[in-house]
Amino acid sequence: MLGTFSSSLRSTNFLTKFGGNNFSQLYRKMCDKPKVFVTRSDIPNDAIELLKTSCDVTVWNKLETVPINSLVENIKDKDALFCVLNDQISSQVLDKAPKLKVIGTMSVGYDHLDVDAIKKRNIRIGYTPNILSDATAELTVALLLTTSRRIIEANNAAKTGEWKSWAPVWMCGPGLKNKTVGLVGFGRIAQQVGRIIKSFNISKLIYFNRSERKSEACEIGAVRVDFDTLLKESDFVIVTCALAPETKGLFSTEAFKKMKPTAILINTSRGQVIDQDALVEALENKQIYGAGLDVMYPEPLPLSNPLLKLNNCVILPHIGSAAIETRQEMALITAQNILAVLNDKEMPAELKL
Ligand code: DGY
């Protein structure tokens, strides 16, 4: 019945008779919902439901990164793209999406987006800053303690029978008390790490950042230093800076040579900030004590990668923001960002280009 009504409504005769072109336009507007492509099938449901209230939503139906040809095929008629950090949005992809108005990435990092190409096409970008800072800071500190106090090795020893008795120097690792902690990058995540780490009675908190953040540094009690000083003085080096041309490969062979042999390096930003071959060498030669990585390249790291064979390296599968509530909020903000653009409203979190 509804189908019959709907098809007669669509017919020109009916529309002309009951309101003419205006009515016809209104009807078409009601039917032509904006189209959104979502690149993952495991996005928290509230976000998808929210999009569905006013959009025609297509969700990639596999639990794996959408291959480029499927991405291109799926976004050719879409107004909006809901993506994650695995999706490389290049100008070649954008060339195939002439209607695209907004890209909502469920991440704070945006190094997977060709920002210049997006800007050129007047496409807007929504992202998820702030909301993942606490979760990522939490994980950063957890990774630091896991690495320094050898928690994975100790857990394995307990499970495999290697644990024979309590032993005075077995499974020891460096403590934080009276140590110097160096933060590379001093954004919201680093500042929260700084606040937490201070409670471990460290002796000094130093940071290296492009710009001075006087009031935040003062509140936390952190001192700005140059990169070389940070490498030389830090017992723990924590990397949370964004990946940018000036931070790519920042941790090179030369950088590792300047670090203490007792130093521990933690990275929860992006893998490419560290030259991985140089890191393998530094860990193998005991140029540094250990490393804890939540990010690396490529992700996932191939099982043959030497980093996975080293006892003094802890590897996590990019779970910095993986607190349940945080991921739900990230998904929701991404959906809200998209809807805002489609409804000519201000985005909750727009990446200003
Ligand atoms: C981001 O949002 O960029 C993070 O890396 C995800 O954990």
Q: Which value, to the nearest 10 degrees, does the dihedral of the CA atoms of residues 224, 230, 236, 242 take?
A: 70
Interval between CA 330 and ligand 1 midpoint (Å): 10
Confidence (pLDDT) at 353: 80
Confidence (pLDDT) at 2: 37
Contact 188, 248 (CB under 8 A): no
**Residues with Cβ within 6 A of ligand 1?**
85, 107-109, 132, 320-321
- Just list the catalytic residues: 318
Q: Encoding tokens for residue 54? A: 């006013």
Confidence (pLDDT) at 148: 98
pLDDT in tens, the chain (353 residues): 333 334 444 444 444 444 455 666 555 555 689 999 999 999 999 999 999 999 999 999 988 899 999 999 999 999 999 999 999 999 999 999 999 999 999 999 999 999 999 999 999 999 999 999 999 999 999 999 999 999 999 999 999 999 999 999 999 999 999 999 999 999 999 999 999 999 999 999 999 999 999 999 999 999 999 999 999 999 999 999 999 999 999 999 999 999 999 999 999 999 999 999 999 999 999 999 999 999 999 999 999 999 999 999 999 999 999 999 999 999 999 999 999 999 999 999 999 98
Q: What is the CATH number of the domain that holds 246?
A: 3.40.50.720
Confidence (pLDDT) at 110: 97
104 and 137 assigned to the same domain: no
Q: Is residue 116 part of a domain?
A: yes
Q: Looking at ligand 1, which residue's alpha carbon is closest to its atom 3?
A: 109
- Alpha-carbon dihedral sign for residues 94, 100, 102, 105: negative
Q: Looking at ligand 1, which residue's alpha carbon is closest to its atom 5?
A: 109
Total number of domains in the chain: 2
- What is the residue-wise DSSP string for 80-96? EEEE-TT--B-HHHHHT
338 and 305 assigned to the same domain: no
Contact 307, 293 (CB under 8 A): yes
Interval between CA 36 and ligand 1 midpoint (Å): 22
158 and 124 assigned to the same domain: no
223 lies in which domain range?
133-315
Q: Is residue 235 part of a domain?
A: yes
Interval between CA 241 and ligand 1 midpoint (Å): 12
Ligand 1 pocket test: which of 106, 110, 112, 132 has the largest number of ligand atoms within 8 Å of its C-beta? 132
Contact 242, 269 (CB under 8 A): yes
Contact 266, 238 (CB under 8 A): yes
303 and 159 assigned to the same domain: yes
Interval between CA 14 and ligand 1 midpoint (Å): 52
Q: Which atom of ligand 1 is nearest to the CA of 270?
A: 5
Q: Which residues of 253-277 are buried (b: 16+ CB within 10 A; e: fewer)?
A: eebbeebbeebbbbbbbbbbbbbbe
Widest distance between CA atoms in the chain? 93
Q: Which atom of ligand 1 is nearest to the CA of 106?
A: 2
